């Protein structure tokens, strides 16, 4: 039985990772959370498997802007894996409060890395990053794992800073590091400020949705959407040996055998208008929308993000659930649990 520390377990993605681990492994979980803007323990306790498997989860309250002190370190004990999912993630808020995002995504990551250095049996420190560290992707461009950073807003810059600290600890302290880049994640229990729950709520109430588009308002922004269940599956796949394949090529300048990066990518690219139309079709409702120039309305945002998922495919990983089925399940669940649209 493995012991895993998950930061941000009360967050949206963290809750899906915990649920997947409870359903598919016998691991013991310690989840660390400060219960800030995105943290909500109801996400964990609303899981169908909680009643039977919740005894394997221990909740620890801590704000990683502060170091992990000796008392908390003893309370957590030794772990096999650390999954660092905690982060501030909302681009608009990062534009309003850039220093807060530096504290949450760079300083907090460094504090956790320092804690990890005291873990004598640690097999992997997984840093959960984002496609946005690479900036906007022109049509036809899908970024590989080791592409150069080109952050377009304080959120993505702070996540890139966390990546670099993780790699620095791999090089300096021989810490085993895995970095993942993931695109837009959706699913049950998501914060209502995010695009899909926002669409579900607006379409259900007959309101007009804003679709961010190019300057001419003729082409909507696009993403490779992926469900939280699929992300969780990819993370455990990497932890359980997928990240250790020696046959995969690495950049010629890279000389740290104990660190690597992986892109976790959805099956196909969907623009925001198509996404809203699909949600409206599932709901059986009319879609009312307005196309707006995204740069004028949301400075710091990029019209298109894209990652190359061939590395994970070469490792043998594939999406357990397809996009259409994942989206349908999410919409139906959200309609049947409307309290999550108002949290």
Q: Which residues are catalytic?
A: 155
Place of tokens 């952050």: 151
229 CB neighbour count, 10 Å cutoff: 22
Task: Give Cα 293 distance to the centre of its chain.
Answer: 26
DSSP code for 104 = I
Which two three-digit tokens encode residue 271?
């623009």
161 CB neighbour count, 10 Å cutoff: 20
DSSP three-state, residue 285: coil
Q: 83 vs 94, 128, 228, CA distance in Å?
A: 23, 7, 15
CA–CA gap between residue 115 and residue 132 (Å, rounded): 27
SS3 breakdown of the chain: % helix, strand, coil, rounded to 5?
40, 20, 40
CB 262 within 8 A of CB 177: no
CB 293 within 8 A of CB 299: no
CA dihedral over 139, 197, 191, 4, signed as positive or negative: negative
């Amino acid at each position: 039985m493995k012991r895993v520390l998950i930061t941000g377990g009360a967050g949206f993605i963290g809750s899906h990772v915990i649920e997947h681990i409870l359903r598919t492994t016998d691991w013991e979980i310690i989840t660390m959370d400060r219960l800030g803007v995105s943290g909500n323990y109801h996400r964990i306790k609303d899981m169908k498997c909680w009643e039977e498997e919740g005894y394997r989860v221990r909740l620890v309250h801590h704000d990683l802007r502060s170091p992990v002190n000796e008392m908390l370190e003893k309370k957590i004990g030794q772990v096999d894996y650390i999954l660092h999912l905690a982060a501030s993630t909302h681009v608009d808020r990062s534009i309003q409060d850039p220093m807060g995002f530096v504290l949450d995504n760079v300083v907090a990551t460094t504090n956790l890395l320092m804690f990890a250095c005291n873990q004598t049996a640690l097999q992997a420190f997984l840093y959960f990053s984002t496609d946005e560290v690479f900036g906007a992707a022109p049509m036809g461009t899908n970024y590989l794992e080791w592409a150069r950073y080109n952050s377009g807003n304080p959120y993505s810059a702070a996540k890139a800073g966390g990546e670099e600290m993780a790699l620095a600890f791999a090089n300096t302290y021989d810490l085993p590091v895995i970095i993942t880049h993931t695109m837009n994640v959706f699913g049950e229990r998501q914060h209502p400020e995010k695009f899909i729950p926002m669409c579900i709520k607006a379409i259900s109430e007959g309101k007009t949705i804003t679709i961010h588009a190019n300057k001419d308002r003729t082409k909507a922004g696009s993403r490779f959407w992926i469900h939280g269940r699929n992300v969780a599956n990819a993370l455990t796949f990497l932890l359980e040996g997928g990240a250790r394949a020696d046959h995969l090529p690495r950049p010629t300048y890279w000389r740290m055998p104990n660190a690597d990066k992986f892109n976790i990518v959805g099956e196909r690219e969907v623009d925001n208008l198509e996404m809203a139309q699909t949600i409206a079709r599932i709901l059986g409702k009319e879609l009312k929308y307005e196309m707006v120039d995204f740069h004028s309305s949301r400075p710091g945002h990029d019209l298109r993000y894209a990652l190359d998922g061939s590395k994970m495919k070469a490792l043998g990983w594939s999406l357990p659930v397809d996009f259409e089925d994942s989206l349908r399940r999410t919409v139906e669940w959200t309609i049947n649990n409307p309290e999550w649209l108002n949290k």
